[in-house]
Amino acid sequence: MIYLCRIALTKLDILDTLPEIKVGVAYKVDGQPLPSFPANMDVLTRVSVDYKTLPGWCCSTETARSFEELPPQAQNYIGFIEDFLQVPVKWVGVGKSRESMIKLF
């Protein structure tokens, strides 16, 4: 059986005021990459995180109701998430109400 994954990216509006957004892209212990987030507390205390820094958009996304209405930097952030995870974003939440969920496809 094949399961298709899609991402629901919620709370995008929480990032509206940030001049830059740091996205964790890798975990390392003693300089060695980890395949996943560590569950062991002894290992976790030694973890360092590699970040990719993306430009923020510093404006409200709460009234956007389509992908095209989002600021270009927010569109690029969504594209980065899709490319990095290799999973498409289907929904983007930009506020508290049901109407604040943008369906991308």
Cα–Cα distance measured from residue 93 to residue 86, given in angstroms and rounded to the nearest whole number: 20
Q: Residue 56 — pLDDT band, cuts 50, 70, 90?
A: very high
Q: Is 42 annotated as a binding residue?
A: no
Q: What pLDDT score was predicted for residue 85? A: 94
- Burial of residue 32 (CB within 10 Å: 0-12, 13-18, 19+) is exposed
Both tokens of 46, joined, read 């030694």
- Mean of the pLDDT values across residues 2-11? 88
Q: What pLDDT score was predicted for residue 3? A: 59
pLDDT of 65 higher than 90? yes
**Domain regions of the chain by residue span:** 1-19+56-105, 22-55
The torsion defined by the Cα of 57, 11, 26 and 43, in degrees rounded to 10, comes to: 140
The CATH class of 1-19+56-105 is alpha beta
β-strands 89-93, 20-29 pairing? unpaired
pLDDT of 1 higher than 80? no
Q: Is 95 annotated as a binding residue?
A: yes
Q: Is 90 annotated as a binding residue?
A: no
User: Is 102 strand, coil or helix?
Assistant: strand
Q: Is 56 annotated as a binding residue?
A: no
pLDDT of 66 higher than 60? yes
The pLDDT tens digits for 8-49 are 999 999 999 999 999 999 999 999 999 988 888 999 999 999
